[in-house]
Amino acid sequence: MTEQVATLLVACPDRKGLVASLAQVLYGHGANILDSDQHSDPIASMFFQRLRFDLSSLTTDRVSLENGIREVGERFAMDWKLSYAERVRKIAVFASKQEHCLYDLLIRHRAGELACEIAMVISNHPDAEPIARHFGVPFHHVPVTAETKASAEAAAHELIAASGVELIVLARYMQILSSAFVAKYPSRIINIHHSFLPAFVGANPYRQAYEKGVKMIGATSHFVTADLDQGPIIEQATVRVSHRDSVDDLVRKGRDLEKRVLAQAVRNHLEDRILVYAGKTVVFD
Amino acid sequence: MTEQVATLLVACPDRKGLVASLAQVLYGHGANILDSDQHSDPIASMFFQRLRFDLSSLTTDRVSLENGIREVGERFAMDWKLSYAERVRKIAVFASKQEHCLYDLLIRHRAGELACEIAMVISNHPDAEPIARHFGVPFHHVPVTAETKASAEAAAHELIAASGVELIVLARYMQILSSAFVAKYPSRIINIHHSFLPAFVGANPYRQAYEKGVKMIGATSHFVTADLDQGPIIEQATVRVSHRDSVDDLVRKGRDLEKRVLAQAVRNHLEDRILVYAGKTVVFD
Amino acid sequence: MTEQVATLLVACPDRKGLVASLAQVLYGHGANILDSDQHSDPIASMFFQRLRFDLSSLTTDRVSLENGIREVGERFAMDWKLSYAERVRKIAVFASKQEHCLYDLLIRHRAGELACEIAMVISNHPDAEPIARHFGVPFHHVPVTAETKASAEAAAHELIAASGVELIVLARYMQILSSAFVAKYPSRIINIHHSFLPAFVGANPYRQAYEKGVKMIGATSHFVTADLDQGPIIEQATVRVSHRDSVDDLVRKGRDLEKRVLAQAVRNHLEDRILVYAGKTVVFD
Amino acid sequence: MTEQVATLLVACPDRKGLVASLAQVLYGHGANILDSDQHSDPIASMFFQRLRFDLSSLTTDRVSLENGIREVGERFAMDWKLSYAERVRKIAVFASKQEHCLYDLLIRHRAGELACEIAMVISNHPDAEPIARHFGVPFHHVPVTAETKASAEAAAHELIAASGVELIVLARYMQILSSAFVAKYPSRIINIHHSFLPAFVGANPYRQAYEKGVKMIGATSHFVTADLDQGPIIEQATVRVSHRDSVDDLVRKGRDLEKRVLAQAVRNHLEDRILVYAGKTVVFD
């Protein structure tokens, strides 16, 4: 559905009159606010807002509206981002041998849950090719070894840049991306980590959880930063486990969490619900 | 903490300019919006908003502000309600022999979770008197029999009216209130029902659940209307059960749900988060 | 992995000596008990047990062991069922246009979560054929109309009988099976109903839930009996919803529940964890 | 209810014939098994079992039965513990200024959820005295400073030893117990930590969680060992939080978790459901 709808995401120092000024500028151009959510962080003295509005009744045009928003934005020193619903975003999914998150994203996309185009699947293994093909998504096999890492990342970057992809989703991609690569996509790479972060950072979190004897396990989706598994957390979920569960059982139970938690993060991104600040996220629901 | 804060709850037919007009009137009087949440129901064409704002920087006075809101309210045919945080609300808790919800409310109140005065505990049994006394809350024993129901309700009503109580909380109160009594307190009586409504209406829901063999049980807090267990639902929660659980186990597990679900509903009411329409609720979180 | 492992499921009137007799017969033949779970229903005076044991150290042979179990079974009037892990069970999945549960079962099977052969997919629509083919599963298109229902069911029955299928899984199959068909497969047809039964029986449960204004929705897997949506419940799960969620949002959130709840029920069946009695289930976990 | 029921907890190296031998000895003395749960850890090659049985039909006497169990225990090198339901266990609750867990335990005890005698409340602050008195439980004020820690612990130990207390429950007790004190009560001190361990060890876990920006918080009950917050985990639970939640909100939401998670651990201990090995627990449910 290509609705005439836009979403405005705003972050700025908290000040009086912010809400009224933004509402006024939208109203002044005939835009009808459909949803509005805001958050003030009293410690950081920051203000965040998400406004979704209907453009079909615009009394001016988009350029005028954008100029109006820009003017308010400058007055209040806002970071702001305006997205039109009819522009279809492109995402790239990076996968390795584990296929459950990849399948999950493709099926949800097909069911209409993810408003985007899945422009490509990139994997360091060839296994996922038939899966991508089944869903009609271009597949690129980009093998990675310690020696070829830089060139592999360059190849991936080229594919992404050429196609206008704006979000990279690591669907249990088992390679650690270089700082240089990560730096190219600030708050634009979403990873799924198979633990309830900050517990069990790094390799084999299910084994770590098993050995610790925890009674719940979790999954965490987060933006990727240069620090491994330390980026801003977007979504988390947990499930009960018991002494009966082997490491394999934790892996199996965890898969269900990983799928939901990754898909929810991607969905939140595509609906412009996420703002990042101070190493954390605001996720408007 | 008697902050200089007010909350405005609004319900009206959806129209363009609503958000801007309300934001403008607050800004015009120097009120600083702290939180804002809104909801549009496209089917009912209704608009709902909750605005919480700081009055400490008011450039006019409260009377002017209220006049301003009234003027906007009339323009948009709003139902609106303005509450000042420093006015302490009074609630009455109705209890019977089961004491867990009563204890829970009293302890949460003491911990500062419920911003109100618990003006009285009314029970049809004398057992709860020492509990009320321990927490320094007045206790009234109002026995109820089939014959005395009308006079008992009249006595309760008198106690409530005399003390300025605005919310009645049925903390596992085991009497069915008459339609006449209920009609006096529209959306002002909150009940906890010990099932996941609409399943298991009426008596002995845990036994019903046991006999049906469900794998989860629930609890539901709702406003009381003339139809038994059919009032607008405010909050629900569920917990897993298994074939191992006897009816007594369901009762025990259910108590934990009932406490949380009732307290959450009361808290939501006290924070002006609930709007009722079309037999349902909007609960701003 | 075709382990030398067997599972014994037992139901009988509760009597002293049951546990010892079964343990003794297994020990006497050299079988090593790996897992044992039991349940006594004091109201029904019934005893239930699941025993999983290792056959690799058997000092006699399987026929002797079975004779030993049969002798104990007769002594205690047991219903019992012995399954060898190496015998691969066959299941048939019935689907309609909704594909999420079908995909989910196929992917879990491929990931090794479901120890069975998915012998066929039967659908009253042709849409699922490419999905079945992608996973290498035979597909049968069996259209159903009011007029052809009897012959369609006969065709399905023939396919099932010919292939030795022992469990039918209704993966959001949108046809109501006739009593005659259902009677052929007692406790052998598992359905997923998209509500928290017994709430919202019948058609459009998400719409019913939306109109009621519940704060959680659920999904229920159950054995199919002649009474619509009334068969013994195997598994249930719930998820929070709010006034923000449209019917479509409930459908989307519900899909996640349906997948997990149906797959868990199938898995429990395949691992011989379910016993049915008195319209309810014992599910050993 | 002082039923004629006993519970046997067993841990030993895994060997064939274990289950049959224990079942046989109980049957041989006329004990009727009510519940049985077992677990084999294939990595540690360990076997664990919990047997609950009815003594009312004993054909010998308890001494003979215990001798029979002892004989089997020696044959299989078992650690075993036999508890009779009619012996009322005594527990001591250690508290500080936070009263929610203390209240919760006392109320659950009064509701019959905890089969024990709460022999005393010990606190380093006098505040809890009226609470203990309300529930008719002896209260001891044992102040602790850096200088008096050793003598305070000695005083507590004396009170406990004199009264036959077998379990110490730290209900948000804000003092770190010395290694010497802890060593006196192996697997007999249960603590509640207000985080989802192993995340956020140490002080101010809610603040740590707030700063990390997690989307769920948790609580963990565990046995106390010499390593701070590292003892075997008994029970955990989590709840969703969001960017809207201040540290105070996390504290409030966390209280609900802490109460449930601590009470569940105490209940599991009192019902002889917990076995400790390899720094972890088996908790039979």
Assess whether D229 carries a catalytic annotation: yes
pLDDT in tens, A221-267: 999 999 888 999 999 999 999 999 999 999 999 999 999 999 999 99
Is the CB of D13 inside 8 Å of chain A's CB atoms?
Answer: no
| Residue type present at position A30 | G
Mean pLDDT rounded to a whole number for chain A: 95
- Cross-chain CB nearest to C57 (options D16, D24, D35): D16
End position of a domain, from candidates B38, B63, B84: B84
pLDDT at residue B252 above 60? Answer: yes
pLDDT band at B2 (very low <50, low <70, confident <90, very high): low
- Cross-chain CB nearest to C100 (options A111, A134, A260): A111
Percent of chain B with pLDDT over 70: 99
End position of a domain, from candidates B38, B56, B84: B84
- Write b or e for each residue in B156-192: b if 16 or more Cβ atoms lie within 10 A of its Cβ, otherwise e: beebbeeeebbbbbbbbbebebeeebbeebebbbbbb
pLDDT in tens, C25-55: 999 999 999 989 999 998 899 999 999 999 9
Distance between CA A158 and CA C167 in Å, rounded? 50
pLDDT at residue D111 above 70? Answer: yes
pLDDT in tens, D169-206: 999 999 999 999 999 999 999 999 999 999 999 889 99
CB contact under 8 A, B256 and D260: yes
pLDDT at residue C1 above 70? Answer: no
Is the CB of D86 inside 8 Å of chain C's CB atoms?
Answer: no
pLDDT band at D1 (very low <50, low <70, confident <90, very high): very low
CA A137 to chain centre: 20
CATH number for the domain that contains residue A134: 3.40.50.170
What DSSP character marks residue A111? T
CB contact under 8 A, D36 and C34: no
Beta carbons within 10 angstroms of residue A173's beta carbon:
23
pLDDT band at B1 (very low <50, low <70, confident <90, very high): very low
To the nearest whole Å, the CA of A113 is away from the closest chain B CA by 20
Q: In terms of domains, do B20 and B95 share one?
A: no
Distance between CA B104 and CA D125 in Å, rounded? 23
Query: What is the residue-wise DSSP string for D4-16?
Result: SEEEEEEEEE--T
Is the CB of B244 inside 8 Å of chain C's CB atoms?
Answer: yes
Chain B positions in Cβ-Cβ contact with residue C216 (cut-off 8 Å): 196, 218, 236-238
CB contact under 8 A, B214 and C200: no
Q: In terms of domains, do B53 and B138 share one?
A: no
Question: Is-contact B283 B271, C-beta < 8 A?
Answer: no
pLDDT in tens, B260-278: 999 999 999 999 999 999 9
pLDDT band at C16 (very low <50, low <70, confident <90, very high): confident
To the nearest whole Å, the CA of B212 is away from the closest chain A CA by 25
For residue A1, what pLDDT is reported?
A: 46
CB contact under 8 A, B213 and C199: no
Is the CB of B252 inside 8 Å of chain D's CB atoms?
Answer: yes
CB contact under 8 A, D23 and C20: yes
For residue C2, what pLDDT is reported?
A: 54
Q: In terms of domains, do C193 and C163 share one?
A: yes
- Cross-chain CB nearest to D281 (options A42, A237, A243): A243
Is the CB of C107 inside 8 Å of chain A's CB atoms?
Answer: yes
Least confident of C50-54, C200-204, D213-217, D230-234: C200-204
Q: In terms of domains, do B139 and B273 share one?
A: yes
Distance between CA A69 and CA A63 in Å, rounded? 10
Q: In terms of domains, do D73 and D98 share one?
A: no
Is the CB of D178 inside 8 Å of chain C's CB atoms?
Answer: no
Chain C positions in Cβ-Cβ contact with residue B200 (cut-off 8 Å): 198
Q: What is the ipTM of this complex?
A: 0.94
Q: Quick one: average pLDDT of D140-148?
A: 95
- Cross-chain CB nearest to A199 (options D196, D215, D244): D196
Is the CB of B255 inside 8 Å of chain D's CB atoms?
Answer: yes
Give me D276's structure tokens. 């400790």
B partners (3+ CB pairs within 8 A) are A, C, D
Q: What angle do CA B275, B79, A34 make, to 5 degrees?
A: 70
Distance between CA B4 and CA D142 in Å, rounded? 42
Distance between CA D151 and CA A83 in Å, rounded? 67
Q: What is the pTM of this model?
A: 0.96
CB contact under 8 A, A103 and C100: no
Residue written as token pair 């938690």:
A261
Question: Is-contact D167 D266, C-beta < 8 A?
Answer: yes
Chain C positions in Cβ-Cβ contact with residue A113 (cut-off 8 Å): 252
Q: In terms of domains, do B183 and B97 share one?
A: yes
- Cross-chain CB nearest to A280 (options D213, D278, D282): D213
Q: In terms of domains, do C56 and C105 share one?
A: no
What DSSP character marks residue D172? S
Question: Is-contact C232 C276, C-beta < 8 A?
Answer: yes
Q: How many CB pairs under 8 A join A and C?
A: 24
CA D53 to chain centre: 22
Q: In terms of domains, do B257 and B139 share one?
A: yes
CB contact under 8 A, D35 and C30: no
CATH number for the domain that contains residue A36: 3.30.70.260
Chain D positions in Cβ-Cβ contact with residue C59 (cut-off 8 Å): none
Is the CB of B202 inside 8 Å of chain C's CB atoms?
Answer: no
For residue A29, what pLDDT is reported?
A: 96
Distance between CA C225 and CA C222 in Å, rounded? 9
Domain that holds residue B134: 90-283
Chain D positions in Cβ-Cβ contact with residue B256 (cut-off 8 Å): 260
Query: What is the residue-wise DSSP string for chain B?
Result: ---SEEEEEEEEE--TTHHHHHHHHHHHTTPEEEEEEEEEETTTTEEEEEEEEE-TT-SS-HHHHHHHHHHHHHHTT-EEEEEETTSPPEEEEEE-S--HHHHHHHHHHHTT-S-SEEEEEEESSGGGHHHHHHTT--EEE----TTTHHHHHHHHHHHHHHHT--EEEEES--SPPPHHHHHTSTT-EEEEESS-TTSS-SS-HHHHHHHHT-SEEEEEEEE--SSTT-SPEEEEEEEE--TT--HHHHHHHHHHHHHHHHHHHHHHHHTT-EEEETTEEEE--
Q: In terms of domains, do C167 and C204 share one?
A: yes
pLDDT in tens, C126-158: 999 999 999 999 999 999 999 999 999 999 999
Distance between CA C30 and CA C10 in Å, rounded? 20
What DSSP character marks residue D115? -
| Sequence-ordered alpha helix ranges (H) in A76-128 | 100-110
pLDDT band at C108 (very low <50, low <70, confident <90, very high): very high
Per the rule left: phi > 0, alpha: psi between -120 and 50, beta: everything else, D105 is alpha
Distance between CA B246 and CA D197 in Å, rounded? 32
Q: How many domains does chain D have?
A: 2
CB contact under 8 A, A214 and D235: no
- Write b or e for each residue in D163-188: b if 16 or more Cβ atoms lie within 10 A of its Cβ, otherwise e: eebbbbbbbbbebebeeebbeebebb
pLDDT in tens, D152-174: 999 999 999 999 999 999 999 99
Is the CB of C246 inside 8 Å of chain D's CB atoms?
Answer: no
- Cross-chain CB nearest to D107 (options B103, B130, B260): B103
**3-state SS, residue D34:** strand
Q: Quick one: average pLDDT of D231-241?
A: 97
Q: In terms of domains, do C23 and C152 share one?
A: no
Chain C positions in Cβ-Cβ contact with residue A255 (cut-off 8 Å): 111
Chain C positions in Cβ-Cβ contact with residue B234 (cut-off 8 Å): 215
Q: Which residue of A has its CA nearest to B31?
A: A16
End position of a domain, from candidates C84, C118, C134: C84
Query: What is the residue-wise DSSP string for C165-216?
Result: --EEEEES--SPPPHHHHHTSTT-EEEEESS-TTSS-SS-HHHHHHHHT-SE
Q: Quick one: average pLDDT of C112-137?
A: 97
pLDDT in tens, A208-225: 999 999 999 999 999 999
Chosen for mutation from D34, D104, D251 (greatest number of chain B CBs closer than 10 Å) is D104
To the nearest whole Å, the CA of D282 is away from the closest chain C CA by 14
Distance between CA C36 and CA D19 in Å, rounded? 9
Chain C positions in Cβ-Cβ contact with residue B232 (cut-off 8 Å): 213
Least confident of A115-119, A120-124, D19-23: D19-23
Q: In terms of domains, do B185 and B273 share one?
A: yes
pLDDT band at D2 (very low <50, low <70, confident <90, very high): low
Q: In terms of domains, do B8 and B114 share one?
A: no
CA B124 to chain centre: 21
pLDDT at residue D254 above 90? Answer: yes
CB contact under 8 A, C40 and D17: no
**Which comes out higher in pLDDT, residue B1 or A50?**
A50
